[in-house]
Amino acid sequence: MPLVRENATALYQQIADRLRHEIASGQFEPSGRLPSEAEIGARFDVSRVTVRLALDALDKDGLIDRRKGKGTFVAGKEVRHELNVLRSFHETLRRQGLDATMRVTALRMVATPADLKPLFGARQRECLLLQRLHLIDGEPIALGRSHLPIDLDGLSRAEIERRPTYAVIADFAGTPVVQARMELGAQIADVNLAKSLQTTAGAALLTMERTSYFRDGGCAEHSTFFVRPERYRFVLNGIFSETA
């Protein structure tokens, strides 16, 4: 419905009320991103100043999160990563209905890191380094750095660039990943991580280290994910009981 311009209620308050109702009804799911100020202004045929006053009212009520240079989001809207489900990082984002994409930033054979040799086996002198930037709505949310005990020559680069890691591994090995061990932590973003994730050096990041295995116990991959924490939450669902 159009705004009532002769109404005693200020235009910005009418817009705020409309947006408040749309937030409550889940209209901006699943990403939580609201339209830009220009888009809201065009929708209601009002000035940018009026739009900002409406958003100020929502911000004051704690309904939105305004992030400079990134846009406006429904407050508290978070990406959820269930730790008890064996699913790749990209697939976790995609299954929530998010506009999730990946961008390969490194893809090459490297000497197997010393700490991974016990996992990959002494004969695995080289492994594949695969580094990908994970984005939601074009905005970086995590950087994944994976080492895989496989040879790049046996893989299609096009497949690597668009498919989740677990799918690539299953195709190459002919058997799926069936188990993974994960460790959560935190660290400070260095200059390179900050640049990749479009944040500031020294910003806090969540980390997830994941080691995945085939059914026969062989190691399928080892990955470390550096995650911007503003909209990301790790969740563990299950039934737990006390032990002596």
CATH of the domain at 174: 3.40.1410.10
Outline where DSSP puts E strands in 75-218: 79-82, 100-111, 126-136, 139-148, 177-188, 204-214
Note whether 131 and 198 are same-domain residues: yes
> What pLDDT is attached to residue 52?
94
Note whether 86 and 190 are same-domain residues: yes
Q: Which domain holds residue 30?
A: 11-74
Q: How many domains does the chain have?
A: 2
Note whether 85 and 42 are same-domain residues: no
CATH of the domain at 34: 1.10.10.10
Note whether 88 and 69 are same-domain residues: no
Final residue in a domain of this structure, among 31, 54, 74: 74
Query: With b meaning 16 or more CB within 10 Å and e meaning fewer, what string describes 104-141?
Result: eeeeeeeebeeebeebbeeeeeebbbbbbbbbbeebbb
Note whether 93 and 197 are same-domain residues: yes
Note whether 26 and 68 are same-domain residues: yes
202 found inside a domain: yes
> What pLDDT is attached to residue 244?
42
The overall pTM is greater than 0.85: no
Report how far residue 221's alpha carbon sits from residue 166's, in angstroms, rounded to the nearest whole number.
9
> What pLDDT is attached to residue 219?
95
Q: Are 161 and 104 spatial neighbours (Cβ–Cβ below 8 Å)?
A: yes
222 found inside a domain: yes
> What pLDDT is attached to residue 43?
93
Largest CA distance in the chain: 79
131 found inside a domain: yes
Note whether 29 and 137 are same-domain residues: no
**Cis-peptide into 229, omega within 30 deg:** no
Which residues face 71 on adjacent strands? 67
Report mean pLDDT in 10-residue bins for the chain, 244 residues.
Answer: 68 92 84 90 93 92 81 78 85 81 92 94 91 90 94 76 86 90 95 94 95 94 93 70 50
